[in-house]
Amino acid sequence: MRPIKVFMLAAFLIIAAISSAFIKEHLLKTVTDEGKGFAVVELFTSEGCSSCPPADELVAKIQKESKGKPVYILAYHVDYWNRLGWKDQFSSADYSKRQHDYADYLHLQSVYTPQVIVNGKTEFVGSEEGTLRNAIKNSLQKAVPAQIALDVASFDRNRAILKYSTGGTDRNTALLIAVLQKNAQTKVERGENQGRTLSHVQIVRKLQKVTLKDNNGSVNVDLPNGFDAQNWEITGFLQNTITGAITAATRVNFAGEVNASAAIKNPR
């Protein structure tokens, strides 16, 4: 019996060692996979700008091609074109201010539309397809310096409660929550795009800054009028408040939360 026990113990230790090695390799692979780069593409646009539709079309194409990849499109409609004949229904002074903040970060003399900024570090004309594709490609190949996880704890028509977890941050890091309408169309009746029907994707309808006190926490987000769980989502990203550099990003869909809730209520 003794030799059998020794054999069984040895076999158990071998299996445990193999399992441990497998788990370690799996975890390392997971970390490596999650450590791949990302691209936050921020477009500053306006329905009152005649040179903006090509940029809107370009980011829509990129959005479609990048499905399932860590590419995050955020389209901000600025308000400084509104005085020229057409008020963009998606525009906000907050987005114009964000663009001016980038001008300070990137030491630019002025702002313009359409402008694209990738990961808070590089900017160019939003309709330059080759430049945008190269910027995304380069960003996806870089290591991620920080981590963020985001979940919808609960939501209704007016408010969402989000839980977040972060890593690799410092006192100059803030969490930005962008509430996005996935798509919309507008028939423009005046201004430079008069008579055109414009299509938009990933429209920022609310941008909320969260000061990070701990690595984990929750935040209440008031949802804009017209919120629809199937056609809206949230992108959360970490940004250095001194340099403007974005260090991590993720997204969460309300539709997934609705489907999960339905599955619980109506189990097979």
- Residue pLDDT, tens place only, 188-202: 999 999 999 999 999
Position 24 confidence tier, pLDDT thresholds 50, 70, 90: very low
Q: From residue 214, how far is each of 45, 167, 221, 225, 239 by CA, in Å? A: 35, 10, 18, 31, 15
Whether residue 77 is contained in a domain is answered as yes
Whether residue 20 is contained in a domain is answered as no
Task: Quote the mean pLDDT of the chain.
Answer: 87
The total number of structural domains that make up the chain? 1
Q: Report CA torsion sign: 178, 244, 31, 215.
A: negative
Whether residue 245 is contained in a domain is answered as yes
Where is pLDDT greater, at 32 or 176? 176
The answer to whether 55 touches 193, Cβ cutoff 8 Å, is: no
> Which domain does 147 fall in, by range?
39-262
Judged by DSSP in three states, 213 sits in: coil
Q: Which pLDDT does position 53 carry in this prediction? A: 98
Q: Please state the separation of Cα 127 from the chain's center in Å.
A: 20
* Residue 182 main-chain phi, psi, to 5 deg: -65, -35
Judged by DSSP in three states, 10 sits in: helix
* pLDDT of 256 strictly over 90: no
Q: Which pLDDT does position 36 carry in this prediction? A: 83
Q: pTM for this one? A: 0.83
* pLDDT of 30 strictly over 60: no
Whether residue 50 is contained in a domain is answered as yes
Cα 208 to Cα 131: distance, rounded to the nearest angstrom: 29
The answer to whether 56 touches 75, Cβ cutoff 8 Å, is: yes
Whether residue 3 is contained in a domain is answered as no
Whether residue 28 is contained in a domain is answered as no
Report the CATH number that the domain containing residue 155 is assigned in CATH.
3.40.30.10
Q: Which pLDDT does position 258 carry in this prediction? A: 43
Position 257 confidence tier, pLDDT thresholds 50, 70, 90: low
* % of the chain residues with pLDDT over 90: 81
Average pLDDT over residues 99-114: 98
Whether residue 55 is contained in a domain is answered as yes
Comparing 28-37, 39-48, 93-102, which segment has the lowest mean pLDDT? Answer: 28-37
